[in-house]
Each structure stands twice: as structure tokens, then as C-alpha cells.
Amino acid sequence: MDRLTAEKKILELRNEIDRHNRLYHVEDRPEISDQEYDQLMRELRDLEDLFPDMVTPDSPTQRVGGEPLPYFEKVVHKSPMLSLGNAFGADDLRDFDRRVKSALGNQQVRYMCELKIDGLAISLHYENGMFVRGATRGDGTVGEDITQNLRTIRSIPLRLSRPLTLEARGEAYMPKRAFEKLNKEREERGEALFANPRNSAAGSLRQLDPKIAASRQLDTFIYGLGELVGETVESHSEGLDLLESLHFKVNPERRVFDDMEDVIEFINGWTVKRPELPYEIDGMVIKVDSYAQQQELGFTAKSPRWAIAYKFPAEEAVTVLEGIEVTVGRTGAVTPTALLKPVSLAGTTVKRASLHNEDIIREKGLLIGDHVVVKKAGDIIPEIVAVLPERRTGNETPFAMPTHCPECGSELLRIDEEVALRCVNQSCPALAREGMIHFVSRQAMNIEGLGEKVIAQLFESGLIANVADLYDLHEKRDQLLQMERMGEKSVDNMLAAIEGSKENSVERLIFGLGIRLVGAKAARVLAEHFGDIDGIMNASEEELTQIDEIGPKMAASIVSYFSLPQSREIIDRLKRAGVNMIFKGARTVEGIDSPFAGKTIVLTGTLAQMSRTEAEEKIALLGGKVTGSVSKKTDIVIAGEKAGSKLEKAEKLGITVLDEAAFLALLEESKE
């Protein structure tokens, strides 16, 4: 084929594939089969292979490309991507309506009402109609450049229908079906499951390898313009119509109303219909439609005065308590779990709910066979909130906690008048198995490829009995390859991750050992104070309690743990295997002059730029003390997205509240 003919054919194929992408992923009305679509893509790919200089960034073949990135570059938003204030009921919406009309001198106001997609906020930049950059919301001022990953989402046009320069803002999300498929695959591989579609979407877009993002079947809805060059629109609804005409995917379930009571009626309808959608929503967004009125209303420090997010009440469902199962955790605590008749709740099928301890069962008056009301706390964690005794038939039966361990048969005990029953047999297989799952977890030794199912397989096959055995697995590679779902690549990756964990700073090991009452924060305090594992092992209770944040009970637990011959044997084996035993982290600077020095700080909500653990470490290094609850002794509350009751309490007590942007700014100042 000559060059001129190839160029013409390539252009035809690109236009045809773009049209089918739009029909399938945006308009939901495909015209051809997957096989026919794949044939068009193969034909285009073959031609581009013959004429590689004709490949352009907007070609459909470039949806997945490029090598994994070492890190994400930061992107400063031209105008902030602010979060919205919340409304939790009709009265809150009426108050919002009154504030808006009062500020506008009682002008006529029209409201646009849209579904609030539960995903990750994104910003898409186009120059002369070409997609050039995509970013996360981040802290609202600074996000991360995730262009490579966003290019893999087929509902995002790589080229607009007109050569406009603009910024479009929207939400990337994972459809329910894709979420269920992903979790099923992760379960089969023995990996931790995602809690909800929002977490999975956010995790997918923050993968450094775009091929992983491409495999996750993400989608988008675009909800507004951040910038528009060369054209003018006068309202939010006109802006959405323009975006739709440019081939963006805009949610069709949107309406403009002249009266807030009509908005409330529309919201009530979607509160009921919400489970029918193929994607998750966590509320509705109400915006003043006129851009001129939006400009007149302006912004507070955190949010626009012309928009508000209505949050749905926690979804509840009635089902039957079919049984109660007890499990033994890594510390020996025996925890009851409700086994429920499967029920659909907030987009997922719920079969289990935590009951925490025997007292909860007694307080709720639960009987096996009871009809119960279940809700998801924060739309994530299933819990039983009420029993319906009026539905009892007389066939219900009481539940009694076991007196002996369901795993090893040892007598269960209550220690120090605790609520929880415990198995104290250190040889109990449940303690070893659950302890191993904790040992490899992210906050501990962070060994990827060792999920719960893989750990269970290794125990059942006799390849491991304690954490030290992990570091002998390289000698058992042939046996590993004979295990179910253990191919050469997965085995080699797992062994490499185990080898890499030897270089961790010792606080990860201390936390991973699962010493009762010693969390990640206390592990770091111990590691920083003593410098190595030997100092901790040989410390007396008196020496330990002289350290801030190490109380008498924790000190006794530490001394008790290291007094056991089997504990010292494990440490000796880990030393011989080459596992690091010293503190490698940065030490807290004594007498530092920082805004956090000597302050008591509480973190609440989700931070976009770092994990909570990272934030706690940075605060600790600057002389601050992080606690879990807000009180009159709290000096500062750092509030991320979806901050809840802690933020409300801080505001009532008049405590200084910092958003993430202010927190990051203080961290930067402290470096200088």
C-alpha cells in the first residue's frame, strides 16, 4: 500500500473507531459486535506498524501506551477544584435556597440538580481539541498528572468534535459490574478486596503502570467546565450541553428547576431509585444554574456559595440472621460475625456483619433466626442496627459464645476483665495464621503477593508455621510452583517481595510481630528510642514506661512477649535470614521550632496527597503528637475529604482546623 492510500485509510479507520467508541461508551447504543470492533483496531494497528511516523497522540491505538512512570508529576490547577458544603435533609436545602436568594436580592433562581457520582474527581485539559493533560483533584489546588491512565478510559475523547481549548471537570468511576469482576479476580488470587467502587477507581488511576488502569474498565461522567477559550456559555446547563456536543459523556439524569421544592421531590425520587443504577452515587449536587449569579455569590474559603451536595441517608435493608460464626484473631481474641441471608445494600450483596463481641449480641437481644435491620456505616461496613422482635415466630434460638477455642480446643479466657474472650494457646494455628496475615500487611512488613488465601495455602501445605519460615521459602520454590494458582511469575514476584522486606526499618518488624497493645505508632516510638530490636527486647517495664506514650499495660505486654523462648527464637531466625533489626527512619528533631511542636493533633477524613500513616510520621518528626479523638486538649484538627463528627466537634470547641492545603503549606514552611 502506498503512503497516500495508507494515510487516507488510517484517517477513515480512526474516525470509524472513534464513532464506535462514542456509541458504545458514551451513548450506550453500540452498532457492531466486539469482534468487528477488534478487527477495525487490528487493521489500524497493522497500518500504523507499517507507517509508524503516522501515529498521533489521538489515535485509538494510543489508549494504552508508555512505560510505567517512576512517580506522578504535580499539577497546579488554574482555578481551585473546591469541595462542596453538605446538606443532610430537606430543611438544609431550604436553608441553602434562602441564603442564595437573600444574597442575590431575591432574584429569580434556577437550580441544576445532578447525580453525585461516587468516584474520583478529575480535570481534563484540551488544546485545539486535543487531549493534552489529565489530573486528579488532589487538595483542590495541587493535583497529580495521571494523563497516561486517563487516556485508557474510552469515554474520554482524545480529540473533540471541534478544536476548542478548554478544561473539563468530572468524575472517574468504576461501574458496579466491573467492581464485582475485579474483586472476584482479587479473591481468587488471595488478594485483599476493595471496600467499594470509589476506592477501586481511585486506586486504579493512581497506578504507575497505565496497563493496570486500562484493565480496570473505568468510566467517566463530566460535570462542568473549568475553563473555556473562544466561546461563551451563560449557564451551567448550557455548559453541559456544550460538553455533550463535544462528545464528552455527561450524565443524562439531570434537571433544571425553578423551585427548591421541586428539587427536593426530584431528590426523593432518586433516594428510592438509587440501587437501580449501574454505578454508585452517594448524593445529589444542586447548583445555581446562571454563571452570572454564581459569580455574584462567590466562594467561602472552602466551597462555592452557589452549590451544595445533598448526602443520602445510610441505606438500610431487612434480612434474617441465619447464624453466628466465631473467628480467632492474631491476638487470640474471639470475634463473633453475623451470617445473614444475602441482601442487596448500597450496591453490594451483604452476607456478613461484624458483631464485635458477646456484649453486643446481648445488648441487641439477638436470636438466631431474627429479622434484623442492616446498614452500611459510611456506606462501607455492614452492621446490624436493630432487631425486629415483632417478626419472631417462636422458632428463634439464643446464641452462646463457645467456652473453648474453635481452632485448637483450648479453654477461652478473659484477661484483665476485658470484654473479649481470648485463646491464650501460643501454638494455636489460628494465632499463627492470623499473625502471619498481619505480619505481611501494608503497615507491617508490606510483602505484596501474600494475601489471606495464599497465606492459608502455605499453612495448609505445611510450608510455613511462623513468620520466620517466610524467609526460607526461596529454598522451596519447586514446592510453591505445585500449589494452586502459583505460576512461575507469581512465585518469583512473591519471593522477590519477601527478600525486599528484609530492608525495612525495624519499626515495621516490631509492629508486624503482633505484640499485644503495640500499634504502628508505638512501634515507631520504640524503634526510635532504642535504635534496634535488642534494646527493646532487653528493656525492663520501668525503662519502657519512662518513654512517652508507653503506658504500664503496654510495657508489661512488651516484656511478656520477649520473655517467651519462642519469641526470641523467631527473632534469632529472622536475624540469621538477614532481616534488618535497626531503626532506619528519620529521628524526631528535639527542640524543633515548628507549628506542630508540642501540639496535640487529630487527623480526620481522607488526605489526597499522602496516607494517614505518612501524615502522622511527618507530624511526629516535627514534634507533634497525634491522637485519635478530639477533646479540649486538642490543639489542631487536620480535616481531609469526608471529615465527619471529629470536624464538627472541633468547630464547636473552637479548635484550629486546617484543610489539607494549609497542612501541606505548614509542612513546606517547616522544611525551610
By annotation, the residues acting in catalysis are: 116
**Helix-, strand-, coil-residue percentages of the chain, each rounded to 5:** 40, 20, 35
Q: How many CB atoms lie within 10 A of CB 443?
A: 15
Alpha-carbon span 505 to 526, nearest angstrom? 12
Cell reading at 69? 512512570
State the cell numbers at 564. 517467651
**Closest to 509 in 3D by CA, of 567, 584, 439:** 439
Q: CA 415 to CA 466: how far, in whole Å? A: 24
Three cell numbers written together for 1 = 500500500
Measure the CA–CA gap between 579 and 498, rounded to whole angstroms: 10
> Cα separations (Å) of 451 from 304, 365, 441, 444, 494?
43, 36, 8, 13, 10
H helices of 51-89, in order, are: none
Which cell is 381 given? 461496613
254-257 and 111-117 as β-strands: parallel, antiparallel, unpaired?
antiparallel
Q: Is 42 left (phi over 0), alpha (psi -120 to 50) or beta?
A: alpha
| Three-state DSSP state, 349 | strand
Distance CA 21, CA 1 (A): 27
Beta strand extents in 219-312 (DSSP E only): 219-229, 254-257, 281-288, 307-311
Inter-axis angle of helices 612-621 and 520-530, to 10 degrees? 30
Cell for 40? 477495525
HSE-CB at 123 with a 13 A cutoff on CA atoms is: 26
Q: Identify which of 498, 443, 440 has the alpha carbon closest to the alpha carbon of residue 614.
A: 443
272 beta partners: none
